[in-house]
Amino acid sequence: MRTFKLQVQVTADGYMAGPNGEMDWAGGTPWTDDLSTYIDALTKKVDLIVLGRKLAEGFIPAWASGPEGEDQSSIDWMNQTPKVVISNSLTESPWDNATVAGGDLTETVNKLKAEPGGEMIAYGGGTFVANLIARGLLDELHLFVNPVAIGTGMPVFPNTGANQRLRLVSARAFECGITALHYAPKSA
Q: What is the pLDDT of residue 184?
A: 95
Are 119 and 50 a contacting pair, CB within 8 Å? no
pTM: 0.92
- pLDDT tens string 132-176: 998 999 999 999 999 999 999 999 887 776 678 899 999 999 999
Share of the chain above pLDDT 70, in %: 98
* Alpha-helical segments (H) within the chain: 33-43, 53-64, 72-80, 105-114, 126-134
Nearest to 129 by CA among 35, 54, 186: 54
| 188 pLDDT more than 70 | no
Nearest to 141 by CA among 154, 130, 127, 152: 130
Domain 4-185 sits in CATH at: 3.40.430.10
- pLDDT tens string 78-115: 999 999 999 999 888 889 899 999 999 999 999 999 99
**How far, CA to CA in Å, does 42 sit from each of 18, 21, 46, 94, 180?**
26, 25, 8, 28, 11
Three-state DSSP class for residue 124: coil
Q: What is the pLDDT of residue 158?
A: 77
Are 6 and 121 a contacting pair, CB within 8 Å? yes
**Among 23-27, 34-38, 81-85, which is the least confidently predicted range?**
23-27
The mean predicted confidence, pLDDT, of the chain is: 91
What is the spatial distance between Cα 18 and Cα 75, in angstroms, rounded to a whole number? 26
Report the pLDDT averaged over residues 39-48. Answer: 95
